[in-house]
């Protein structure tokens, strides 16, 4: 890429200046030290609008090194517009290798999915977070929610789950199901489906969350307990795909997308594009294992 040289001359490596990177890294260290705690940070201006993945980009650009291999997905897909543009941008600013292959990447930025393939110890998983505050639905004032987190005063959150259950007979929370991290902070896992929630628990990778518009960073360090909120007798469960399978592979143990063909027929397909590719190529792969996935019959 010829153009890249032009940018290298004009911009600092990874776009953000070193002082700001240092600030973000310091905040990330704090976030890792206090799992699930939201650390305020500078959220500098980026060449994309806030709310379009700036938080994730801040984290990625602050931690990326020349030897990293970068992958970015949007709702499970390497090829969606948001993913392509950000991949292009990161590549232009750093010249690091980019990939679609989940197991090859060392740095994975995501919008609203965790890969089906199991994450490894040398990987950092970076989330773009629209709303970092899990308590916002029950308490609109920031000073109050901060106090609630500080004092682990989560009764209101629990009551809202109770209310959801008594109104609808189930906990009607979908993407971004609130979790308790390290048995302390309640955290918004960004709008990943419930399917992905169990994969955060005791994960081998480091998970970093960036909310650019809301100016918050938080983290789940490797091997940290992450539990979805549930009552003793009203349990969390993942999306139910019973009786459905991927129309391309016949696979049943993955998060499925619903498709309508031109003839009006309905089909389901694996949402994670790299996972789907590997399945179709019969490449070796190791999927996440958790008690919800394990129950599904292949």
Partner 1 sequence: MSRTDDNWLLRVRNLTKIYGEPNENTLNMTGPLFNSNICPETDAIVACADISFDLYPGEVLGIVGESGSGKSTVVRLLYFDMEKTAGSAFLKPYNSGLANILEESNQKKRFIRNHLMGMVYQNPRDGLNFRFSSGGNIAEKLIMAGNMNVGQIRGRASELLEKTEVPVQRMDDRPSSFSGGMQQRVQISKAIANNPPLLFLDEVTTGLDVSVQAKVLDLIRELQQDLGIAMIVVSHDLSVIRMLTDRTIVLKDGRIVESGLTDQILQDPQHEYSQLLVSSLL
Nearer to partner 1, 162 or 241 (CB): 162
CB of 185 to partner 1, least distance (A): 14
CB atoms within 10 A of CB 4: 13
Nearer CB in complex with partner 1: 151/281: 151
H helical segments located in the chain: 2-10, 18-33, 54-63, 81-94, 142-150, 155-168, 273-281, 291-295
Least distance in angstroms from the C-beta of 167 to partner 1: 7
Please say whether the beta carbons of 199 and 114 come within 8 A: yes
3-state secondary structure 156-206: HHHHHHHHHHHHHCCCCCCCCCCEEECCCEEECCCCCCHHHHHHHCCCCCE
Binding site for partner 1 (CB under 8 A): 147, 151-153, 155-156, 158-160, 162-163, 165-167, 231-234
Please report, for residues 5, 8, 91, 222, 255, the alpha-carbon distance to residue 128 in angstroms, rounded to integers and kept in the order given. Answer: 28, 26, 18, 19, 20
Among residues 167 and 286, whose Cβ is nearest to partner 1?
167
Report the C-alpha gap between 127 and 160 in whole angstroms. Answer: 25
27 within 8 A of 15, measured Cβ to Cβ: no
Beta strand 179-181 pairing with 226-228:
antiparallel
Of 34 and 69, CB closest to partner 1: 34
In the bound complex, what is the minimum distance in angstroms from residue 37's beta carbon to partner 1? 16
Encoding tokens for residue 120?
A: 């490894």
Between 140 and 295, whose beta carbon lies closer to partner 1? 140
Smallest distance from the beta carbon of 34 to partner 1, in angstroms?
17
Q: Given the complex with partner 1, which of 18 and 163 has the nearer CB atom? A: 163
Write down the least CB distance from residue 159 to partner 1, Å.
5
Residue 158 CB, shortest distance to partner 1, in Å, is 5
Distances, alpha carbon 294 to alpha carbons 240, 245, 254, in Å: 13, 16, 11
């Amino acid at each position: 890429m010829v153009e890249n040289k032009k940018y290298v001359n004009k911009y600092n490596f990874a776009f953000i200046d070193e002082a700001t990177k240092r600030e973000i890294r310091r905040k990330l260290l704090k976030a890792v030290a206090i799992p699930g705690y939201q650390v305020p940070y500078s959220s500098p201006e980026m060449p994309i609008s806030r709310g379009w993945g700036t938080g994730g980009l801040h984290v990625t650009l602050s931690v990326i090194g020349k030897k990293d291999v970068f992958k970015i997905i949007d709702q499970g897909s390497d090829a969606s517009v948001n993913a392509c543009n950000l991949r292009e941008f990161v590549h232009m600013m750093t010249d690091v290798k980019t990939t679609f292959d989940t197991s090859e990447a060392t740095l994975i930025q995501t919008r609203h999915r965790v890969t089906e393939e199991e994450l490894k110890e040398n990987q950092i998983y970076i989330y773009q977070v629209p709303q970092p505050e899990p308590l916002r639905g029950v308490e609109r004032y920031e000073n109050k929610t901060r106090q609630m987190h500080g004092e682990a005063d989560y009764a209101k959150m629990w009551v809202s789950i109770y209310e959801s259950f008594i109104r609808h007979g189930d906990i009607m929370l979908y993407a971004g199901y609130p979790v308790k991290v390290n048995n302390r902070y309640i955290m918004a896992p960004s709008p990943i489906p419930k399917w992905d929630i169990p994969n955060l628990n005791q994960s081998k990778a480091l998970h970093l969350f960036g909310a650019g518009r809301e100016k918050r960073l938080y983290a789940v360090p490797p091997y940290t307990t992450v539990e979805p909120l549930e009552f003793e007798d009203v349990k969390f469960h993942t999306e139910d795909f019973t009786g459905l399978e991927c129309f391309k592979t016949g696979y049943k143990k993955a998060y499925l997308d619903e498709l309508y063909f031109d003839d009006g027929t309905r089909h389901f397909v694996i949402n994670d594009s790299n996972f789907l590719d590997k399945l179709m190529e019969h490449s070796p792969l190791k999927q996440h294992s958790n008690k919800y996935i394990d129950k599904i019959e292949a």
